């Protein structure tokens, strides 16, 4: 299965493609960060990001797209830009009839590190190890996009659209992810 992870952001939007199956080695296919200059009008910034997302969908033909779920922050303008870019990814995938999943930051952190409260550096290092890369992906937006793809590939059995695996065959990180997801649902 090929997953495109999208870490939405108006200034930097992480894009990461990972191939993998449950219980099998993961392989990074591509990683990039689409950027837009803060001095441009918002419509032009969104257009630049949208074009790069479209290019990635065309070039890499993912089976699914995993997008970070936008959550409330104190900075309203940051939330607005993030939500707008997430919407671009959702529409671009829908236009191609590619299934989309959304994951919270704590779900993604738990999936790759075993802790929903992991720091950015921990996520980058675990992405490096899981994908057997020489160096950790930089900037953090690139690593986060790859982590989103990994999180989606490792969703526990029974989750909507999740790969099927034998009961009890989850890794420690996957069990932590499932616990973080359940906690997030209880808070919602």
Domain 2-187 CATH class label: alpha beta
* Active-site residue flag, 144: no
Binding site listing: 7, 68, 141
Q: Which of 19, 50, 107, 141 is catalytic?
A: 141
> How many Cα atoms are found within 13 Å in the side-chain-facing hemisphere of 143?
23
Q: Where are the domains of the chain?
A: 2-187
pLDDT truncated to tens, each residue of the chain (188 aa)? 999 999 999 999 999 999 998 778 899 999 999 999 999 999 999 999 999 999 999 999 999 999 999 876 667 778 899 999 999 999 999 999 999 999 999 999 999 999 999 999 999 999 999 999 999 999 999 999 999 999 999 875 445 444 333 334 455 565 665 666 666 666 65
> How many Cα atoms are found within 13 Å in the side-chain-facing hemisphere of 124?
13
- Say how far apart CA 77 and CA 35 lie, in whole Å: 17
Binding site listing for Mg(2+): 7, 68, 141
* Active-site residue flag, 41: no
- Say how far apart CA 98 and CA 63 lie, in whole Å: 6
Provide Rg for the chain, Cα atoms. 16
**Is residue 163 helix, strand or coil?**
coil
pTM assigned to the model: 0.82
């Amino acid at each position: 299965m090929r997953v495109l992870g999208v870490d939405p952001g108006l200034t930097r939007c992480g894009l990461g493609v990972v191939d993998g199956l449950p219980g099998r080695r993961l392989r990074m296919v591509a990683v990039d960060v689409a950027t837009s200059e803060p001095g441009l009008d918002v419509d032009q910034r969104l257009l630049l990001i949208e074009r790069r997302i479209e290019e990635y969908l065309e070039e890499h033909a993912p089976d699914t797209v995993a997008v970070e779920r936008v959550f409330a922050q104190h900075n309203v303008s940051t939330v607005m830009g993030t939500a707008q870019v997430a919407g671009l990814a959702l529409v671009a995938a829908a236009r191609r009839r590619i299934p989309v999943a959304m994951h919270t930051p704590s779900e993604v952190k738990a999936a790759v590190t075993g802790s929903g409260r992991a720091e950015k550096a921990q996520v980058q290092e675990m992405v490096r190890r899981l994908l057997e890369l020489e160096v950790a992906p930089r900037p953090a937006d690139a690593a986060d996009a790859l982590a989103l793809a990994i999180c989606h590939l490792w969703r526990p059995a029974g989750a909507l659209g999740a790969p099927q695996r034998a009961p009890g065959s989850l890794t420690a990180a996957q069990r932590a992810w499932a616990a973080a997801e359940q906690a997030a649902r209880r808070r919602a």
